[in-house]
Amino acid sequence: MTNDELLWRIAGGSGDGIDSTSQNFAKALMRSGLNIFTHRHYPSRIRGGHTYVEVRAASHEVKSRGDGYNFLLALGDSFARNPQEDAYYGNEEVKPLTENLDDLREGGVIVYDEGLLDETDVADLDEQAEENGWHVYPLDLRGLAREHGREVMRNTAGVGATAALLGMELDPVEELMEERMSGEVLEQNLEILEIAKNEVEDREFTHDLQIPAVEDGQKQGLAEDHEQVLVSGSTAIAYGAIDEGCRFISGYPMTPWTDVFTIMSQNLPEFGGIAEQVEDEIAAASLAIGASHAGVKAMSGSSGGGFALMSEPLGLAEMAETPIVLVEAMRAGPSTGMPTKPEQGDLEHVLYTSQGDSNRVVFAPGNAQEAYEQTRRAFQLAYEYQLPAIVLYDQKLSGELVNVDEAFFDREPNPSLGSVLTEEEIAEAPHHHSGKFNRYQHDVENGVSPRSVPGQEDGRFLVTGNEHTPQGHISEDPDNRVNQMDRRMEKLESIRAELDADDQSSQTLYAPDGAECQYGIVTFGSQQGTVEEATKRLSENGHSVKALGVSELLPYPTKDVKAFLDSVEQCMVVEMNASAQFRGLTQKELGGYGDMMTSLLKYNGNPFEPEEIVDGFESSISGDGDAPGHSTTFVPAAGD
Amino acid sequence: MSAFSAIETKRDVDQNEFTPDIEPQATWCPGCGDFGVLKALKGAMTEVGKNPDEVLLVTGIGCSGKLSSYFDSYGYHSIHGRSLPIARASKLANPNLEVVAAGGDGDGYGIGGNHFMHTARENHDMVYIVFNNEIFGLTKGQTSPTSPKGHKSKTQPHGSAKDPVRPLSMSLSAGSSYIARTAAVNPNQAKEILVEAIEHDGFAHIDFLTQCPTWNKDAKQYVPYTDVQEDEEFSFEVTDRQEAGEMMYEAESRLSEGEVLTGRFYQDDRPSYGQEKRHTGEMPEQPLAERYFDDSYEWERSADLMHRHR
C-alpha cells in the first residue's frame, strides 16, 4: 500500500452529520496544503440508512475518486430501522461497518464506534481483518462524547481519533470549529477532539498509514501561493450563473438538482434577485421564460422526471426564441430510478425532448471549473442566440468537492442581455406597416433577429408557439415556414463556428505520452477526471493511449472528436448508462466510426473507479472485454 | 430614467390604439363570444389609460388564445394551460408592466388548473380572463371541465358522468382577491369589471361567459342574464368571504340549470405577492428588468462569496 494519498471514508447513518463532518475534515486537509476530491454516497431518506463520504487527499493533483479507500471511520447509525440480520433490508445498525468492507484496501485502517456498533454482530470481522491485513481500532466514541458533551459530538471524537492515528495536526480542524461554532458547543467539541486524540495516541499502533506529506509546501498542478477554495459542481454552476448576471431562478425541489436551486435561492435575495419555488416543473420552466421575456437573465432546472415536465416549455422557448438556461442533474433512471445515485442516462432525453426539431445548446462539463465556465457560456449563447441552453451534469459532479485556486473565481461579471435592442435602436429598426416591430426578420446575420422587451416604446410584437411571420403573427405560409425554420437552425451552425473559433477547445485532451497513440478513450461529462487517472495508469503500464473528455454535446464538436478518432486505431467510450448513448450520438454525428468504438458502461449507481477503466481497457484489447470482479459492462464495436 | 419609456410616459390613449393598423382576420366564428372579450378589453385598457407598449397580454391555446393576435400590445401566445406562470414571472421581472393572462375553460380549469390554484394563492397583481364557453371549441366540440353533467359530445357519447368544476368557488378557496363573472353579451358590465380588475392590486379572476355558437348551442347566448349586484333577489357582501362563497355556489348551480348570474362575487384587499415578497426582502424595490439597462449598476460577483469556501 502506498502512503502518498489518504482515502478517508466516514460512514454512518443519514441525518448523523456525516456530510458536514466530512466537509470540515476535507477543508482542514485543504488548509494544511493537500489537494482534495470527495465522493458522496447517500440514501433517499431523511433519517437513518447507510451513508458515506470519501475524502481523497494527496499532495499530487486529484481529479477523481480513488480505487477503494484506506481509512474507515465507522460511526453508528442512530436512526437504523432494522436491528435484525434477517430483516428485509438487513441489519442497518451494523451497516456503517459491514457495507464498507468490500472496498477497503489491504492494510487499511478501521476505526469504529464500539459504543454503537457491536463487533459480535459482524461475526467474521476478525477473520476478514486478518486476511486483508486491516488494522482495527474499536473506540467508544459515543461514550466519550456523552461524557464531555453531547452524543452527537461523537463525529468530532472520530475526527480526533483519525488525527491521532494519521499523525495529523489538529490546528486546521480547531480553526474551522472556531469559525463555525461558539460558546459551550465550541468548548465541548474542542475538548472532545483533544481528548479523543490524546487517548488514541496512548495506544500502540500497528498500521503505518500517515497523513500524506505536503511536498515543498506546494500543490502540484495549481498556481503558487494562491488560496484554495473547496467547491462542488453545483456551487460552480450557481456561481457561473451569478457572474453572468442571472438574477431569477424558478424551480421545484428534486434530488440532485436541489443543490443548485438552494445555492441560488440563498444568494439571489441578497443580490436583489428573485428566486421562486413553484408548483411544478412545467411552471418552473415557464416562469424562467416569462422573466427572460420581460428582460431579466433567468434560469431553471431539474433532474430526470422534473425535466421531463419541462419538455413543452422548452420547445416553446425554441420556437418563441426566448432565451433560457436550464440545468439537468441526472440521477439513475428510468422513472424515479435511484434518486441519490449518479447516472448519465438522460443524454438522449435532454438532446431531443419536446416535439419538432430540437434547437438548443447542450453542455456537459467534466469538472467544477468547466461547470463554472460552461454555465457562463450557456448564458452567453442563450441570450445572444435567443434559444435554450442546457447544462447537463449528474449527482456525481453535483456533490463532489474539489479544491480550486481562489483566483479562478476572480472574474468580471457579464450582465449583458445579448441581442436586445435599446429604445433608440428600436426606433431605427424595421417595423411592419401594421405598427408592429419586426421581431422575427427573415434575413439576418447568424440567424439572430434582435428582440425588444415589453415596456419599450414601439417595440411591441407577438410571440407565439405557432409558426409565425416576422411580426410574430401565426402563419402557415410554406415560404415563410422554410425561411423561419432555416434561420432558427442557422443559429446552431453559427454557435458551432463560434465555439470552434475559441482559442482553447472545451474538449479536454489528455495525452500523457504525446498525441501519437494506438488507442483512445473517450468520455463525456463528469467521468472526465476518472478517465484521465485511468489513462495515466494505462500509460504507466506501457499502453499507447490517450483520452478525450467531451463537454459540448449540441451542437456536436464534430471537428474535435473526428480528429481524435482519426488519430487512433481503436477507441473505448466510457459512460454511465446501459445503452451507450454517447457512443450512439457520436456515430450519428460523425456518420461512422462504429467499427472502431467499443463501450465500457456502468449503471449500478456508483461512478467509475479508475481501476475499473484500467481493467476494462486492458481486457478489451487482450481478451473479450470481460473484467471479473467489476460491475462494468463491455460492449464490442459494431459488427463484432 | 427608465429604459421603458412606454411605462414612464403617461399620455391619453385612444381605444383604436389597441386595434392593429392592419387587423388580422379573426379566426373566430360569426357570433362568437370572444369578440366581446376583445372589445371589452380594448375599452377597459383605454379607460385606465394604459398604452399598448406597456401592456403584456399572455394567452394560452384555443380560440381564446388568439386574443393576443387581435389586441395590439406586447403579446405572448404561449402553450396550453401555461399562460399564468409565464405572465406572473414577467410581472415579477418588471412590476410596472400591466400584465393580463387569458385562456379558455379547458386551459385554465383543466390542463392549467394547478397553475390557476397557485397563482391565485400567491395573489399576483394581474388580471386573468377565462373564456368560459363550457366546451372545447377549437378541437370541435368535446366536453370540457365546465360542461354540464350529462353533456353529450363525440368523446362523451353517453353524456358526461362528471359534475362541472365550480370556477368561482375554486377561485375563492385558492385565494384570488377579486372574483367576478361576466358575459360577452353584456359589454358594459364586462368593461366595468375589467376596469376594476386591472385597477385591483392582486389576482383578479374573471370567469367570462363566451357563447360558442357553433359547438355549444345549448348555452344559447347566455341571455337573459342577471346582475347579482342589481337584482333584489340577491343580497350579499362581496367582501364577506362566507356570503361570497354561498353566492358563488348559487350562481354555479343555477348556470347548470340555464340561469345566468353575473357580477362581482368577491373582493379582498390583502397584499399582492409583489408586496409580500418585498416585505420579506426577497424582491428588489426597483424593477429587476431596469437593472440590465443601467450601465452604472455595480454587479455582484461570486468572488464576493469565496470566504465561505476557504
The CATH code of the domain that includes B28 is 3.40.50.970
Instruction: Describe the crossing of helices A281-293 and A311-320 by its angle, rounded to 10 degrees.
Output: 20
Shortest Cα–Cα distance, A436 to chain B (Å): 8
**Which residue shows C-alpha cell 409583489?**
B274
pLDDT of residue A224: 56
**Which residue shows C-alpha cell 419536446?**
A354
- Nearest chain A residue (CA) to B92: A291
Q: What is the extent of the structural domain holding B145?
A: 5-309
pLDDT of residue A46: 85
- Which residue in A247, A287, A472 is closest to B85 by CB distance? A287
pLDDT of residue A263: 98
Sort out which chain A residues have CB atoms less than 8 A from B77's CB and list them: 462-466, 474
Shortest Cα–Cα distance, B270 to chain A (Å): 20
- Which residue in A231, A457, A463 is closest to B309 by CB distance? A231
pLDDT of residue B82: 98
What are residue A484's DSSP bridge partners?
A: none
pLDDT digits (tens, 9 = 90+) for A580-626: 999 999 999 999 999 999 999 999 999 999 999 999 999 999 888 88
- Which is more confident, A628 or B110? B110
State whether B75 and A275 contact (CB < 8 Å). no
- Which residue in B53, B77, B303 is closest to A411 by CB distance? B303
pLDDT of residue A93: 87
Q: Is the per-residue pLDDT at A527 higher than 90?
A: yes
Beta strand A361-363 with A388-394 is parallel
What are residue B98's DSSP bridge partners?
A: B55
- Nearest chain A residue (CA) to B7: A455
Interface test with B, best of A281, A457, A477 (most B CBs within 10 A): A457
Shortest Cα–Cα distance, B255 to chain A (Å): 31
- Which residue in A313, A422, A462 is closest to B79 by CB distance? A313
The rounded distance, in Å, linking the Cα atoms of B66 and B24 is 11
Nearest-CA neighbor of B78 among B41, B55, B110, B103?
A: B103
Report CA-CA distances (Å) from B240 to A288, B169, B244.
36, 14, 6
State whether A287 and B300 contact (CB < 8 Å). no
Nearest-CA neighbor of B263 among B211, B212, B207?
A: B207
A399 contacts A232 by C-beta, under 8 angstroms: yes
Sort out which chain B residues have CB atoms less than 8 A from A373's CB and list them: none
What cell numbers appear for B74 in the block? 406586447
Sort out which chain B residues have CB atoms less than 8 A from A465's CB and list them: 61, 77-79
Q: Is the per-residue pLDDT at A526 higher than 60?
A: yes
Q: Is the per-residue pLDDT at A89 higher than 70?
A: yes
pLDDT of residue A548: 98
Q: Tell me phi and psi for residue B181, to 5 degrees.
A: -130, 135
Sort out which chain B residues have CB atoms less than 8 A from A291's CB and list them: 89-90, 92-93
pLDDT of residue B23: 84
Shortest Cα–Cα distance, B237 to chain A (Å): 32
pLDDT of residue A2: 54
State whether B89 and A286 contact (CB < 8 Å). yes
Is CATH 3.40.50.920 what the domain over A508-635 is classified as, yes or no?
yes
Give the confidence band of A218 by pLDDT, cuts at 50, 70, 90: very low
- Which residue in B78, B114, B283 is closest to A280 by CB distance? B114
- Nearest chain A residue (CA) to B68: A462
Q: What is the DSSP letter of A468?
A: B
Report the pLDDT averaged over residues A187-192: 96
State whether A269 and B281 contact (CB < 8 Å). yes
Nearest-CA neighbor of A633 among A602, A608, A612, A610?
A: A602
State whether B289 and A235 contact (CB < 8 Å). no
Give the confidence band of A72 by pLDDT, cuts at 50, 70, 90: very high
Interface test with A, best of B17, B288, B298, B304 (most A CBs within 10 A): B288
pLDDT of residue A3: 66
Sort out which chain A residues have CB atoms less than 8 A from B302's CB and list them: 239-240, 242-243, 409, 411
pLDDT digits (tens, 9 = 90+) for A387-445: 999 999 999 999 999 999 999 999 999 999 999 999 999 999 999 988 899 999 999 99
State whether A243 and B301 contact (CB < 8 Å). yes
Report the pLDDT averaged over residues A498-503: 96
- Which residue in A227, A286, A432 is closest to B85 by CB distance? A286
Sort out which chain A residues have CB atoms less than 8 A from B92's CB and list them: 248, 274, 276, 291
- Nearest chain A residue (CA) to B75: A462
The rounded distance, in Å, linking the Cα atoms of A13 and A2 is 30
Report the pLDDT averaged over residues A57-66: 94
Sort out which chain B residues have CB atoms less than 8 A from A271's CB and list them: 300
User: Percent of chain A, pLDDT > 70?
Assistant: 98
The rounded distance, in Å, linking the Cα atoms of A104 and A615 is 18
Interface test with B, best of A462, A466, A475 (most B CBs within 10 A): A462
H or E element, residue A111 = strand A104-113
The rounded distance, in Å, linking the Cα atoms of A585 and A180 is 47
State whether B291 and A272 contact (CB < 8 Å). yes
CA atoms within 13 A on the CB side of A173: 25
- Which residue in B53, B73, B75 is closest to A456 by CB distance? B53
State whether A459 and B74 contact (CB < 8 Å). yes
Interface test with A, best of B68, B302, B308 (most A CBs within 10 A): B302
pLDDT of residue A79: 85
Strands of A324-330's sheet in order across: A274-277, A248-251, A298-302, A324-330, A388-394, A361-363, A552-554
What cell numbers appear for A163 in the block? 488525527
Taken as a whole, chain A contains a residue count of 640
Domain count, chain B: 1
pLDDT of residue B217: 85
CA angle B137, B124, A294 (to 5 degrees): 85
State whether B85 and A282 contact (CB < 8 Å). yes
The rounded distance, in Å, linking the Cα atoms of A146 and A114 is 13
The rounded distance, in Å, linking the Cα atoms of A197 and B279 is 50
Sort out which chain B residues have CB atoms less than 8 A from A431's CB and list them: none
State whether B288 and A293 contact (CB < 8 Å). no
Fold match between A5-217 and A508-635?
A: no
Shortest Cα–Cα distance, B132 to chain A (Å): 22
Q: Is the per-residue pLDDT at A360 higher than 90?
A: yes
Report the pLDDT averaged over residues A94-121: 91
Sort out which chain B residues have CB atoms less than 8 A from A295's CB and list them: 93-94, 289, 292-293
What cell numbers appear for A151 in the block? 452524543
Q: Which CATH superfamily is domain A230-409 in?
A: Thiamin diphosphate (ThDP)-binding fold, Pyr/PP domains (3.40.50.970)
Three-state SS at A362: strand
What are residue A575's DSSP bridge partners?
A: A601
Residue B80 identity (one-letter amino acid): H
- Nearest chain B residue (CA) to A310: B82
State whether A453 and B86 contact (CB < 8 Å). no
Instruction: Describe the crossing of helices A581-590 and A558-566 by its angle, rounded to 10 degrees.
Output: 100
Instruction: Map out the domains of chain A as residue ranges.
Output: 5-217, 230-409, 423-500, 508-635
Regions of chain B short of the pLDDT cut 50:
none
pLDDT of residue A472: 96
What cell numbers appear for A87 in the block? 430483516
A307 contacts A280 by C-beta, under 8 angstroms: no
Report CA-CA distances (Å) from A77 to A103, A112, A143.
19, 12, 15
pLDDT of residue B9: 87
Sort out which chain B residues have CB atoms less than 8 A from A31's CB and list them: 310
Sort out which chain A residues have CB atoms less than 8 A from B96's CB and list them: 455
CATH class of A5-217: alpha beta
State whether A462 and B77 contact (CB < 8 Å). yes
Report CA-CA distances (Å) from B290 to A451, B3, B4, B49, B54.
16, 6, 8, 22, 14
Sort out which chain B residues have CB atoms less than 8 A from A239's CB and list them: 302, 305
State whether B58 and A290 contact (CB < 8 Å). yes
Q: Is the per-residue pLDDT at A83 higher than 80?
A: no
The Cβ of residue A352 has, within 10 Å, a number of other Cβ atoms equal to: 14
What cell numbers appear for B243 in the block? 356570503
Torsion, Cα of A604, A609, A611, A616 (10° steps): 40
> For chains A and B, what is the number of CB pairs under 8 angstroms?
231
- Which residue in B21, B88, B306 is closest to A229 by CB distance? B306
Shortest Cα–Cα distance, B98 to chain A (Å): 9
State whether A286 and B82 contact (CB < 8 Å). yes
